[in-house]
Amino acid sequence: MNHAHVRYLESKRSVDERSRSRRVGAELLDALPDAPTIGEAGSGAGAAVPWLVDAGLRAGSYHGVELSPTLVAHARRTRPAELRYRGHDAVDTDTGGAVGEFRFAFEAGDALDRLQARSHDLVVAQQFMDLVDMESAIDALTAATAPGGLVYCPLTFDGVTLFQPDHPADEAVRQAYHDAIDADPDRDARAGRHLIEAFRARPGSLLAVDGADAVVHPRDGRYPGDERYFLGCLLGFVEESVPSSSVPAVEDWLATRREQLAAGRLSYVGHRYDLLYRAHR
């Protein structure tokens, strides 16, 4: 399952924006200094930057590190233009852009390694902690924070994948799909709940936790934005992960789900958590 595709990441932005916890986000913004130094692990297409600017940041810096050079190039090219479209006075730079005194840059590389080169007031790991070894990632993220710095892990997947209407093979497909995730030693289909306990075991403070469920539901047979494509990608991930040898009914399940998607009748819920942690060092 390779999630590092531009259209996939862009198609899910509207879903992510709806599902992000307003309460955890507000606590995060209240805790930031006036000109924070921000780093992001796995910055993807750079969606965190418009969110931060829309939230009012006009000073400080953001440094996003993403393994895919294609995504880095996309973020550098499109995020300043998007901010201008949203009404912000954004300028382009070679590595990203700026709005007022807030500068943002994107870099290709290993985020857990590169971010530790400097101290940050905030380190963001959005939809990241279910893709990496959790304890090693927490070590690296906290090492990248200044004393008392924040670690923000929004939209962390947590073991619920639901499609509607019901299908007789739902439970077998869901279990096999999550088993395939867990078969990778660096992945965790229940990362959200495990991250709560992992942070609690650390010397810092878990400041806030909230549900951040992704919900996609058509209205009058239509999906918002590019969310039909997003659902199609999710079905593709299931197809890659669940062979008919383990779940004989998966072929009928996939065919039924794709018919429902084409007809504008397929709905989806993915359970996720937003977590905010303050490191004590």
**Positive/negative CA dihedral, 157, 192, 186, 75:** positive
Structure confidence at residue 1 as a pLDDT band (50, 70, 90) = low
Task: Please compute the mean of the pLDDT values over residues 184-188 and round it to a whole number.
Answer: 93
When pLDDT is cut at 50, 70 and 90, the band that residue 209 belongs to is: very high
Please determine, for residue 3, whether its predicted confidence score (pLDDT) is greater than 90: no
**Structure confidence by residue, pLDDT tens digits, 50-61:** 999 999 999 999
* pLDDT band for position 280 (cuts 50, 70, 90): confident
Other C-beta atoms within 10 Å of 108: how many?
16
Region 14-26: mean pLDDT is 96
CA angle 179–181–183, rounded 5-degree value: 70
Give the span between the Cα atoms of 228 and 212, in whole angstroms.
20
225 has pLDDT over 80: yes
- pLDDT band with cut points at 50, 70 and 90 for residue 43: very high
Q: Which pLDDT score, from 0 to 100, does residue 5 have?
A: 87
Rounded to 5 degrees, what are φ and ψ at 98? Answer: -155, 150
Tens-place pLDDT, residues 95-138: 999 999 999 999 999 999 999 999 999 999 999 999 999 999 99
- Specify the pTM: 0.95
**Mean pLDDT value of segment 249-254:** 98
The Cα 126–Cα 142 span in angstroms is 15
Q: Please report, rounded to a whole number, the percentage of residues in the chain having pLDDT higher than 90.
A: 97
Residue 193 reports pLDDT greater than 60: yes
Cis peptide before 50 (omega within 30 of 0): no
What is residue 108's predicted lDDT score, i.e. its pLDDT?
98
